[in-house]
Amino acid sequence: MIEVKELRKSFGDVHALDGLTFSCPAGQITGLLGPNGAGKTTCLRTIYGLLQADTGAALIDGIDAQQDPLAARKKIGIFPDKFGLYERLTAREQVMYFARLHGMDSTRAAAATQQVLERLDMVAIADRRATGFSQGQRMKVALAQAIVHQPKHLILDEPSRGLDVMSTRILRDLLRELRSQGTSILFSSHVMQEVAALCDQVVVIAKGKVAAQGTPQELCELTGESALEEAFVKIIGTDEGIAA
């Protein structure tokens, strides 16, 4: 379980997080939805221990991500918004590097890497350098890096931004499979369709706070709207920064 408790973070006069509180249960996909600048990335970076909050806590199975970021990170896979691949390394080397970073010895890292390459149908490209990889192939490398240590929690920052239809489908299928295996998944988005298609729970954030929370159905009921898109607009008070 990921628990975010009363997180506050300011950058100068900007209150990026303003008492943000929510949790992501195991075996569920939680969508963090909000307009541009709502605080989504700041929240995810804090959970991953990359950013120190001013006050509040992010707990990963009870481990405080700010006090013990390394222990917290072992439990989390992260799929970043930009895939920073090492162009001169092969797909296998890139994934193996992450396995080693997570503390596996070389034998275990090689086995875990092979397993994830097979799972993501990447064996054919495993020993090619990243230079020249298509966008979908790059995405698969980033995904393989995120899950090679079999994390119980997966965090994705706007996962389908810039992905083509095929890559988006591969990603969605994998997220559903991981959910069925009990992984808690948290992703940020401002794309309505993605959230509606995948999420068990939606946390709508605006100005660093939770504006509403519930299943897509509950959010519709809460606002008296039949379409999710209209419900979001009503909750946030504007359609700025939200994509259909």
Ligand X SMILES: Nc1ncnc2c1ncn2[C@@H]1O[C@H](COP(=O)(O)OP(=O)(O)OP(=O)(O)O)[C@@H](O)[C@H]1O
Which residues contact ligand X by CB under 6 A?
A: 11, 14, 16, 34, 36-42, 190
Taking the complex as a whole, how short is the minimal distance between the CB of residue 157 and ligand X, in angstroms? 8
By CB atoms closer than 10 A (0-12, 13-18, 19+), residue 73 is buried
Residue 184, Ramachandran bin (φ over 0: left; ψ between -120 and 50: alpha; else beta): beta
Taking the complex as a whole, how short is the minimal distance between the CB of residue 146 and ligand X, in angstroms? 19
Q: Which is nearer to ligand X, 9 or 140 (CB)?
A: 9
Which of 231, 190, 194 minimizes the C-alpha distance to 213?
A: 231
The Cα 114–Cα 173 span in angstroms is: 20
Taking the complex as a whole, how short is the minimal distance between the CB of residue 80 and ligand X, in angstroms? 12
The Cα 150–Cα 143 span in angstroms is: 11
Taking the complex as a whole, how short is the minimal distance between the CB of residue 48 and ligand X, in angstroms? 13
Q: Which is nearer to ligand X, 30 or 113 (CB)?
A: 30
Q: Which is nearer to ligand X, 40 or 149 (CB)?
A: 40
Which of 29, 43, 139, 31 minimizes the C-alpha distance to 94?
A: 139
Taking the complex as a whole, how short is the minimal distance between the CB of residue 239 and ligand X, in angstroms? 14
Per the document, the length of the chain is: 244
Taking the complex as a whole, how short is the minimal distance between the CB of residue 160 and ligand X, in angstroms? 13
Q: Which is nearer to ligand X, 38 or 235 (CB)?
A: 38
Give just the sign of the alpha carbon dihedral 114, 165, 182, 103.
positive
Q: Which is nearer to ligand X, 133 or 232 (CB)?
A: 232
Q: Which is nearer to ligand X, 16 or 156 (CB)?
A: 16
The Cα 133–Cα 119 span in angstroms is: 19
